[in-house]
Amino acid sequence: MTIYKAPLADMRFALYNVLNVEKVLAGLEGGAEHNRELMDAVLDEAARFNEQVLAPLNATGDEEGCHFDKATASVTTPKGFKEAYRQYADGGWAGLTAAEKFGGQALPHVLGALTKEMIDSANLAWGIYPLLSQGATDALEHHGDEWQQETFLKPLVEGRWTGTMCLTEPQAGSDLGLLKTRAEPNGDGSYKVSGTKIFISAGDHDFAENIVHLVLARLPDAPAGSRGISMLVVPKFKVNKDGSLGERNAAYPGAIEHKMGIKGSATCVMNFDEAEGWLIGPAHKGLMAMFTMMNAARLAVGIQGVAVAERALQNSLNYARERLQMRALSGPTNPDKPADPLTSHPDVRRMLFTQRAFVEGGRLLAAYAALQSDIEARGTDEAERKKAGELLSFLIPIAKGLLTEAAQECTKEALQIFGGHGYIAEHGMEQFVRDARIITLYEGTTGIQALDLLGRKIMQLQGVGLKHFLGEISAFCHEQASNPALESFIRPLAVAAKEWGELTQSLARRGTENPEELGAAAVDYLYYSGYVTLAYFWARSVLAASAEGVTADVLTAKRDTATFYFTRILPRMHMHKAAMEAGVATLPAVV
């Protein structure tokens, strides 16, 4: 069985030392209550739940998988999953960050991000069920009318019900303009929803008494393309106006997918056969509600990347310290033993530092983005809220794209450290590789994130989020220019940030002349942006670790990892710059 110990020390370092969340939250509406004592208590309890309840179910859930009963059109989750969810709901975790008026605890999103990381490290497949409920909660909170919030939102926040996002169809993946699901009015305000959706995570299961499906569909008078999409709420069991459950709705799973990984998560084909549903928001404006769900989900999937890489790191580090293989090149480091530990070998240390650099840097990126969500929601100054929202919007595709791709690299390196033992199921490493593979795909592939970043956030929105972020990096570099503790980091960070801005302007000019240039450069631009972004957070980490009260061990670890990042990972930006500058001409038609 693989180990998992919640990385509370580094989480607290990120929160309190680097991001200074106590001060930031204290300046927000209701933030005075969100002190360190409260947040530490939540983190401690989350660690206990995830280490003791969810982590032991990770391997067994993967081995057993979900079960589909065709006769009853129902899904049963692996042994222990349902009971774990009961404890999760009873503990109030489902409503941790939800508004108090809906029964939630209204705790900061930045705290929710770290508790989510623990869930996904402990059991990535199990964590997908509450992730989908959170997306449904966000959409209903922002776009549902009063009776929908009263009827559907409160049970979701309590954890009595769960939610889904029903977007994809066999012919319509990322191109939602091609979807065919129909919604016909019944004449009483409800609709008959008919169609087939695929790849629906948590589409059916045995956790809760009802499942709230949020379904994209077309009304009879819908215009063609994405402008004609509406969103409807379609429950598994019909819901009466008083909130009581009625008969089974015509929304059934037709099958569950046989997958490479996350086998404890039920990925369903969902069939809607004139199922009863209600319109969320205005007709033909379903994309607004969808992007509310999608943006939250994309950041959450970026957190999944950090989470699975964290657990892979813990296990590969533990193995590297204990496994004796060969002698160090400079002579025995463990002369009393027949061989030296794997950590004696430079290439093993390279693999370990690669994982640590992405995990700890990625944790900061995810927490920083979540903190912008708190500022946007509860800031006391309108300009501050607007800036935070623009920053968050800009960082989401970077967090989703880079952190999920980094998880591929980290889990691969972790398995590599185990050698042949990593390929054997009993050691658990191959599960991390399989589980991590999906996160670059769902909620928008890396290519989709890249097009969102370069095409929408840079071109359509004129790079407003980038301007904010580059301004923050520039101010940081200026303030720390004479700090000897950061001498080896500030200059390369300042150079990289300046080049980032210039490169963006160059791409924008080329893209205006030929839009194909944007498509050719987008993924490389995302990687480039992500590497510079993590460099900024690593420089901030060294500054925070240099402060009074931080132990020498923490300072050494942060400085060593930051040095590794700046010298061995950040230079990858030059490769991506060269690829971008090569242009679309190097991508001729495929024959």
- How high is the pLDDT of residue 248? 96
Average pLDDT over residues 118-140: 96
Average pLDDT over residues 302-319: 98
Asked whether residue 229 is assigned to any structural domain, the reply reads: no
Asked whether residue 14 is assigned to any structural domain, the reply reads: no
Q: Would you state the structure tokens that stand for residue 300, as one six-digit string?
A: 């959450």
Burial class (CB in 10 A: 0-12, 13-18, 19+), 181: buried
Give 246-258 pLDDT, tens digit per residue.
Answer: 999 999 999 999 9
Q: Which domain holds residue 523?
A: 461-586
Q: Is the pLDDT of residue 591 over 90?
A: no
Which helix (H) or strand (E) segment holds residue 384: the answer is helix 382-418
Task: Verify whether residue 443 is a known catalytic residue.
Answer: yes
Q: Would you state the structure tokens that stand for residue 527, as one six-digit string?
A: 């990687």
E strands of 100-219, at which residues?
161-166, 182-185, 190-201, 210-217
Distance of alpha carbon 527 from the chain centroid = 16
- How high is the pLDDT of residue 507? 97
Q: Is the pLDDT of residue 241 over 80?
A: no
- How high is the pLDDT of residue 172? 87
Q: Would you state the structure tokens that stand for residue 523, as one six-digit string?
A: 């993924």
Average pLDDT over residues 312-328: 95
| C-alpha span between 115 and 117 (Å, rounded) | 5
Q: Give the count of domains, the chain.
A: 1
Asked whether residue 15 is assigned to any structural domain, the reply reads: no
- How high is the pLDDT of residue 51? 98
Asked whether residue 172 is assigned to any structural domain, the reply reads: no
Q: Is the pLDDT of residue 289 over 90?
A: no
pTM: 0.97
The lowest-confidence range among 1-5, 327-331, 339-343 is: 327-331
Choose between 225 and 54: higher pLDDT: 54
Average pLDDT over residues 272-293: 93
| C-alpha span between 301 and 299 (Å, rounded) | 5
Q: Is the pLDDT of residue 68 over 80?
A: yes
Asked whether residue 58 is assigned to any structural domain, the reply reads: no
Q: Is the pLDDT of residue 296 over 80?
A: yes
175 pLDDT band, cuts 50/70/90, is confident
Task: Out of 158, 169, 430, 443, pick the active-site residue.
Answer: 443
Average pLDDT over residues 487-515: 97
Q: Which residue has the tokens 């989900």?
A: 297
Contact 170, 196 (CB under 8 A): yes
Percent of the chain with pLDDT over 70: 100
Give 393-440 pLDDT, tens digit per residue.
Answer: 999 999 999 999 999 999 999 999 999 999 999 999 999 999 999 999
- How high is the pLDDT of residue 75? 98
Q: How many residues does this entry show for the chain?
A: 591
Give 550-575 pLDDT, tens digit per residue.
Answer: 999 999 999 999 999 999 999 999 99
Average pLDDT over residues 215-226: 94
Average pLDDT over residues 483-496: 97
Asked whether residue 527 is assigned to any structural domain, the reply reads: yes
Asked whether residue 10 is assigned to any structural domain, the reply reads: no
Query: Residue 532: left if φ>0, alpha if ψ -120 to 50, beta else—which one?
Result: alpha
Give 5-38 pLDDT, tens digit per residue.
Answer: 999 999 999 999 999 999 999 999 999 899 999 9
- How high is the pLDDT of residue 397? 98
Contact 517, 587 (CB under 8 A): no
Asked whether residue 551 is assigned to any structural domain, the reply reads: yes
